[in-house]
Structure 1
């Protein structure tokens, strides 16, 4: 028996899965009222294409356990920027250079930040 979870909880679970794979600079942006694209963006950074794919798999597995399946995924071939579209939640997994270049954080600066977890210290 599966429990219904909110859109916000879906975004939080995606961020948690990314964190489990050591994603850096994890943010959840609340886009409600700002765009019809999605209600939440989950944005995170990775150090390599291998880590991007590991984060992708972790998010997919965690949400699939709750019968939440993405509608579309893009960018897996190069794994420089993977976008997972869950309709109301869009997960962006960037390699650092691509995140700096596209700068979604600045583009959506008006969005409320639900979560901001800074990079890891090594």
Structure 2
């Protein structure tokens, strides 16, 4: 499975649990860690955990193994490491505080429009 396919699965899974402000950064040229970073947020600890579970479940269904999970119990910033992609699920306050988009500003944004559902 390609990293782009893994990215699509993660984005759609987050969107299915109403994750907000989903952004993907193509970090392949600026980081040795992964090809993509995915950032999204939920409105509460419970929603963050539901988003994380959905991403894990959908990736597992596709045969992708999570290498590491950090922060799931706290539910304020959860990191899911799938090797080629790293998914960050935040509560809004933590996302604003850590501002990973600024930290990785050299990485181009990935257009996710076709993968995201309609907003009402």
TM-score normalised over the length of structure 1: 0.90
Correspondence 1:7 to 2:3: yes
Q: Distance in 2 between matches of 1:99 and 1:85?
A: 17
User: Is the Cα contact below 8 Å between 2:29 and 2:107 reproduced in 1?
Assistant: no
5 Å-filtered alignment, 1:78-89, equals 78-89=74-85
- Structure having the higher strand fraction is 1
- Aligned Cα RMSD in Å? 1.7
TM superposition shift of 1:115: 3.1
Distance in 2, matches of 1:104 and 1:27, equals 11
Choose which of 107, 111, 115 in structure 2 pairs with 1:111: 107
Aligned-pair CA distance for 1:63: 0.6
TM-score (normalizing by structure 2) = 0.91
Task: Report how many residues are paired.
Answer: 117
> Using the alignment, how far apart are the partners of 2:21 and 2:111 within structure 1?
10
Moved over 2 A (4+): 115-118
Any unmatched runs of 5+ in structure 2? none
Alpha-carbon deviations, 1:34-92, whole Å to 9, x = none? 01111100100110000000001100111101110110000011110000001110000
